[in-house]
Amino acid sequence: MKNYTYPNRTITASIISGNYLYLGVTDSVEDTCYLLKCSAFDPSIVYYELEITATEITRIMVGGLNLYLCLDDDTNLAVRVVISTMVATYLALPLGITEPSIDLINDDTYLYFLIGGSITSIILVDYSAFTFVSTLTLDESGQLVSNAKRIDIDTLGSLWIYTSNTPIDLVKVSTESGNSYEIFTIS
């Protein structure tokens, strides 16, 4: 077993794609965060270090030729990074959203960014253009969804969200039928 250290840094997100390990790290000394492109076989080899304008990278996803990063930030929702050039494009937080994006999934048409907190929201972003499309807030009367943790998508295109509530809420969002949703409580 080998131990790899990154002094004064905390890993907040990671993903492996091919021969590369991508790490989202915060630096306690500089109070900044970075995306590191490392060797998947020897993480002490860092090929690229990209400073990301955010408090923290909360999630990383590979999509085609890009990396998509969820951000904890007062200004930006996410960033798209072109893998071959490590060029970053930021996407601003939509109006009214104050919580960070914590997870994401895609269906080759949209990126779905999950916003947790007291009221759960899903931010739809055009996958190819990386532009804001709409916000779906899960706050219908009597069916408020809060404390979301993860999002997934099934083969029919329905989104599934689970929460950290006790008991756990599992939420199915049917994107094909007007973004209606139903809540299943798992005890």
Q: Where are the domains of the chain?
A: 1-93, 102-187
Beta strand pairing call for 143-144 and 168-174? unpaired
Contact 15, 60 (CB under 8 A): yes
- pLDDT class of 31 with cuts at 50, 70, 90: low
Q: Is the dihedral of CA 76, 100, 23, 124 positive or negative?
A: negative
Which amino acid, residue 31? D
State pTM to two decimals.
0.90
* Residue among 91, 96, 156 at smallest CA distance from 126: 91
The DSSP secondary-structure symbol of 94 reads P
Structure tokens at 42: 């020897």
Q: Which residue has the tokens 């899903």?
A: 122
Helix (H) or strand (E) holding 46: strand 46-52
Closest alpha carbon to 97 in 110, 78, 82, 69: 78
pLDDT at 183: 86
Give the pLDDT of residue 144: 83
Share of the chain above pLDDT 70, in %: 96
Alpha-carbon distance values, 111 to 1, 57, 69, 176 (Å): 37, 17, 11, 15
Q: Residue 112: which pLDDT band, with cuts at 50, 70 and 90? A: very high
